[in-house]
């Protein structure tokens, strides 16, 4: 069976996009999803996203990791899906859509997509790291020599170690560049490797840096391996609200497989 797909990327975090409004895609076939995401035998991507109809909102997002399993929220994937929805004519310049972690508002102008993320009311501070959930779980820790750091080995050790074990966590390594700018490298569970960017990851880093007092700003720039993202938020009664992930989302190519 021929499958039409679209390839999108947001700061190097890339996704296979499929229009599943007619429910033609077999969502139970995890091996097929993994095949499509395979960089040698398939299309190649960090994840696969289905755009589906929703009875109340503009569309529904269904997200799979590269290993073929449906997963928690993906921020860059959500931004790319907004761009995809605009290309399909589902939306014009604004969207409200349902994802696994709830409703998201978004806007798009040219290639820049602003995506509203979950409120965060719990930030766990530990001796050497911070843990929080921004739609997906994230471990955040400082690393001085981030350019030469072995992200895959060190990230995997944390992802599978205590206290995360089998459920796992995404792992973010951070280097402070200024009061408003941080460099981030992320190991993503489900991909089981470093990705060039992680939307929920940079959101977690921005909030963690403010929580730790590393910045007093509420709009923060995150330099990732694939480019630059911005995160803005408001703080009220120890809750991070009105959280927005901002950055480019672009079509790479369209094809059939």
List the domain boundaries for the chain: 4-115+249-256, 124-247
Per-residue pLDDT band at 140 (split at 50, 70, 90): very high
Exactly one of 45, 61, 74, 80 is catalytic; name it: 74
**Whether residue 198 lies in the annotated active site:** yes
Same fold across 4-115+249-256 and 124-247: yes
Q: What confidence score (pLDDT) does residue 176 get?
A: 98
Q: Rounded mean pLDDT of the chain?
A: 96
Distance CA 253, CA 237 (A): 45
Distance CA 184, CA 164 (A): 21
Tens digits of residue pLDDT in 35-67: 999 999 999 999 999 999 999 999 999 999 999
Q: What confidence score (pLDDT) does residue 244 get?
A: 98
Q: Is 187 helix (H, G, I), strand (E, B) or coil?
A: strand
Q: Is 160 helix (H, G, I), strand (E, B) or coil?
A: helix
Contact status, residue 113 vs residue 247, Cβ threshold 8 Å: yes
Exactly one of 83, 91, 120, 198 is catalytic; name it: 198
At the topology level of CATH, where does 124-247 sit? Diaminopimelate Epimerase; Chain A, domain 1 (3.10.310)
**Whether residue 37 lies in the annotated active site:** no
Q: What confidence score (pLDDT) does residue 60 get?
A: 98
Dihedrals φ, ψ of 200, to 5°?
-65, -30
Q: What confidence score (pLDDT) does residue 167 get?
A: 83
CA-based nearest residue to 186, from 13, 4, 57, 10: 13
Is 90 exceeded by the pLDDT of residue 245?
A: yes
CATH superfamily, domain 4-115+249-256, is Diaminopimelate Epimerase; Chain A, domain 1 (3.10.310.10)
Q: What is the mean pLDDT of residues 215-236?
A: 98
Q: What confidence score (pLDDT) does residue 162 get?
A: 87
CA-based nearest residue to 86, from 56, 53, 113: 113
Q: What confidence score (pLDDT) does residue 110 get?
A: 94
Q: What is the mean pLDDT of residues 74-94?
A: 98
Is 90 exceeded by the pLDDT of residue 1?
A: no
């Amino acid at each position: 069976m021929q499958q039409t797909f679209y390839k999108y990327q947001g700061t190097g975090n890339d996704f296979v996009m499929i229009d599943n409004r007619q429910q033609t895609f077999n969502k139970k076939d995890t091996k097929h999803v993994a095949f499509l995401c395979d960089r040698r035998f398939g299309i190649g991507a960090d994840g696969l996203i289905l755009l589906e109809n929703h009875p109340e909102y503009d569309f529904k997002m269904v997200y799979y990791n590269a290993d073929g399993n449906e997963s928690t929220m993906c921020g860059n994937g959500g931004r790319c899906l907004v761009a995809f929805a605009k290309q399909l004519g589902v939306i014009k310049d604004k969207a409200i859509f349902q994802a696994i972690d709830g409703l998201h508002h978004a806007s798009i102008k040219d290639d820049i997509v602003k995506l509203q993320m979950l409120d965060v009311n719990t930030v766990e501070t530990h001796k050497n790291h911070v843990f929080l959930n921004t739609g997906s779980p994230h471990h955040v820790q400082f690393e001085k020599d981030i350019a030469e750091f072995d992200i895959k080995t060190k990230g995997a050790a944390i992802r599978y170690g205590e206290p995360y074990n089998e459920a796992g966590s995404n792992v973010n390594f951070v280097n402070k560049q200024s009061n408003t700018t941080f460099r981030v490298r992320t190991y993503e569970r489900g991909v089981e490797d470093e990705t060039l960017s992680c939307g929920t990851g940079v959101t977690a880093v921005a909030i963690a840096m403010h929580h730790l007092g590393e910045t007093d700003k509420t709009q923060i720039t995150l330099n990732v391996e694939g480019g630059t993202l911005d995160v803005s938020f408001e703080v009220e009664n120890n809750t991070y609200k009105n959280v927005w992930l901002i950055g480019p989302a672009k079509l790479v190519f369209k094809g059939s497989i």
